[in-house]
A and B are shown apart, each in its own frame.
Chain A
Amino acid sequence: MSESKFVYVTYIRTSAEKLWHALTDTEFNRKYWFGCHQESKWKQGAEWKLTGSDGRLYDSGEVLEIDPPRRLVLKWRNDWLPELKDEGWSRCVFEIETDGEMTKLSVTHTTERPSIFIEKVSNGWPKILSSLKSLLETGQPLPRTDQPKS
């Protein structure tokens, strides 16, 4: 298989609406995404950016599909490291489903070709999603996910 693909699934004791808010709200993002936050008008075709706490632009792209609070598809590229930028676009799909008392969040991050970027983000996603779960369920993010990676 030539594509690079990772699927991350977590079940969170929260509502789909709260989870959607946590995923798309700038201030909420900073608490669990290593200090990073997303900026977008959250409309189909709108620009999308991921910025670090130091104001650096890490990643950018576009909102391809948006259906709150169920589905968000982003066109995503790293802007920070030239070798990753050269890899071109990845596609990241967020899907939210209600499953009894829990809300299931699936994140699928794919590139059409083998990708170092997808390998690199595969270290970050599990930590970000575990911290998001902890933050929504207990009010506390996991240690060290509310500040930049050292």
Chain B
Amino acid sequence: MSMDRVFRALADRSRRRLLDRLHARNGQALGELCEGLDMTRQAVSKHLAILEEANLVVSRKEGRVRLHFINPVPINEIADRWIGKFERGRLRALADLKHRLEEKTDE
């Protein structure tokens, strides 16, 4: 699944809001997700389709309704690719600094 799609999907405030709502309560139908939002049902449905394409939301037909679930796997991939990597770099820099400082004490 392309990360471009994930970032594009996350770039929109309304879509992030939908993800927050699913995070608060997982497995909601379209109607429930629309409640209290000043967006039309069509707009919510369109945003959900973009979130699904990015694999951030998974929908399942359960009985007569289609329920939407947040899929945290792509977010974990972003965290690892874009946060974990830099964190590791910083830790390495600190380790190097410590190493250099300790070398100086040895001199």
A residues sitting closer than 8 Å to B (CB atoms) are: 1, 3, 5-11, 106, 108, 122, 125-127, 129-130, 133, 142-143
Contacts and interface: CB of A to CB of B under 8 A. Distances in A.
Pairs A-B, 10 closest by C-beta atoms: A126-B76, A7-B69, A126-B72, A7-B58, A10-B73, A130-B76, A11-B1, A126-B73, A9-B58, A9-B71
Contact of B55 (A1, A9, A125): A9
A130 B27 contact: no
B55 A8 contact: no
Interface string B23-36: 00111000000000
B69 A143 contact: no
A129 B73 contact: yes
Interface in B4-43: 25-27
**What class of interface size applies to chain B in its complex with A?**
10 to 19
Contacts of A1: 25, 27
Contacts of B69: 5-7
B26 A106 contact: no
A8 B73 contact: yes
B88 A143 contact: yes
Interface of B: 1, 25-27, 55, 58, 60, 69, 71-73, 75-77, 80, 84, 88
B84 A143 contact: yes
A107 B80 CA distance: 20
A9 B27 CA distance: 14
Contacts of B25: 1
Contact of A5 (B26, B73, B80): B26
Contacts of B76: 126-127, 129-130
Contacts of B26: 5-6
A142 B88 CA distance: 12
Given A6-B26, A11-B55, A106-B58, A142 B72 contact: no
A92 to B, nearest CB: 15
In this complex, which of A9, A11, A122, A133 has the most chain B Cβ atoms within 10 angstroms of its Cβ?
A9
